[in-house]
Chains A and B, each alone.
Chain A
Amino acid sequence: MTRITVKVDGSSFTDEVEPRTLLVLYLREQLGKTGTVVGCDTGNCGACTVHLDGRSVKSCSLLAVQADGHEITTIEGLATNGELHPMQQAFHENHALQCGYCTPGMIMQSIDLIADNPNPSDEDIRHGLEGNLCRCTGYQNIVKAVQAAAAAAPAAPAAAQHSAVGGAQ
């Protein structure tokens, strides 16, 4: 067992983990953060996307021990005081989901995307979401939602995101 200290959605945790524990399973099974889901075994689908020090990563392709000393934000850490994050709100309003399984990862990656590019074209959005698969073919409304979120909060999320970029880069 290896001891790790991580900050997840604003709270600090120190835990003993088996080195082979995937970050996504640590989040789900040890911390109970089941909002982040597991979609595939190969790192393709992006459903498990979280932010590590403010940048999107696939939490199935990281070990929990690799996150030691870092800060993680999951889909569960986005809403504040019962208010949805603007990207969550935009997904809700644009019906950017059908079954909803890809949604946590889509939202986390979309936030990263507009942090890099606050005024994306539809093509920028499609390329930026290349690592996230939706099996209900809901891409049209997802692109619409990301456009709506970008228009609703110009530049503000980018500043918030980049302030969190840290040592892993």
Chain B
Amino acid sequence: MENLNLVLPEIFISLSIMFLLVLGVFKKNSSKITFNLSLFTILIAAIITINETFSVSRETLFNESVVIDSMSSLMKIITLIGGFLVLVISSTYLKTFKIYNIEYPVLILSSILGMMVMISSNDLIVFYMGLELQSLALYVLATYNRDQLKSSEAGLKYFVLSALSSGLLLYGCSLVYGFSGSTNFDIISNQLNSNEYVLTFGIVFILVGLAFKISAVPFHMWAPDVYEGSPTTVTLFFTIVPKIAALTVFIRFLYVPFQNLIDQWQMIIIFLSIASMVFGAVAAIGQTNIKRLIAYSSIGHIGYTLAGLATASNEGIQSSIIYISIYVVMNLALFSCLLMLRRKDQYYEDIEDLSGLSKNHPLLSLCLLVILFSLAGIPPLAGFFAKFYVFKAVLEQSMFFLAIVGLLSTVIAAFYYLRIIKIIYFDKEKDKYDTDHSLWLKFSLTVSTILILLYFIFPSQLIEVVSRINIIS
């Protein structure tokens, strides 16, 4: 009998989703209770994950198609915490737009479930199942504000392009299956060591599909439009949670099934990384909408995470995971600020709306200052350390070109972060924004800003947790 405790979080979330759907059908005006129950579910799932799987070094389940190891449990915990915080700070925004319905938490839960399956997958079919579950939930979430044209457009765009990339991914999987004769990652890894061209096609298709999911250049086109059009809370969800899952799968694919084919994929990853870093920095300069700007900035940040992956070393993988963890905190903080730009039931999302914010809202501006300098990677803030670890791993593999291009693009990126700071601090002030924010919003902003600001005092803790992840043996 298999040890089902290891997948208890997933089972628990699935049961909750079904229960919540039933509850929504039979009980009227059940939005509030659904929200609270979903939060409760995520919390319980996180606790179970920590309890049951955190100490597991590596176990497989269901005919080796699901793997529980230190990477999967850490990433699941980050996913769950991210999902919890997104859900908890969404309510005011959703109420403002009158879309505070039961579907929202259920969709978030299902996409989280999909991501957890992805994170744990050790099999092409399980992986694809998880991917589709999360994608389908995300399509609907993107169009969630269905009365707005932009939101519907965002959802449709995302659906069409994402479906295309899933198709490519599936085609790649079938080619890899054709060569290895199995869908299991471990077996594939043992079978694949040939230099066949067709196999390279398979790898390329899979990487393209994955690059699309994490919006790496040149497969990033959907991100700015979708980020801009979706409701802000959904954008927040998009920028952090699916990236964690997709990154985990990326790591898993590169270092388990394709571990003997490093020569074939390393150039591709380096290209994706450099292109994302440079493009993310340059394209963000001209933006006027904060959400679009965040889209480009997150493309840049994905470039840095990929730089860690390109190293083909455990340090590199660990540095990528540290990077994405710090990135999650920074984005959470940034969006908390964005959700505070509210005046009489209207949300503001242009950079110009931040003008002179420091005169009327000194504390909020100070938080933004810390967050933006951290995103730019200026020491002693957390963002600097994230980049520092990545470049340390990159330089240890003597990849000087990648490191120098990456660091130069941080200088370009610094320009557009500085531009926002300039608008906040140096420009003329506008009207005051409302200050009656929900407690959770204030909480998430305060905690994440303090984490960013004071990370430098205790940098070892995060490294310690991540250093248990050794994919390459």
| A and B together in one complex | no
- Chain B positions within 8 Å of A, measured between CB atoms, are none
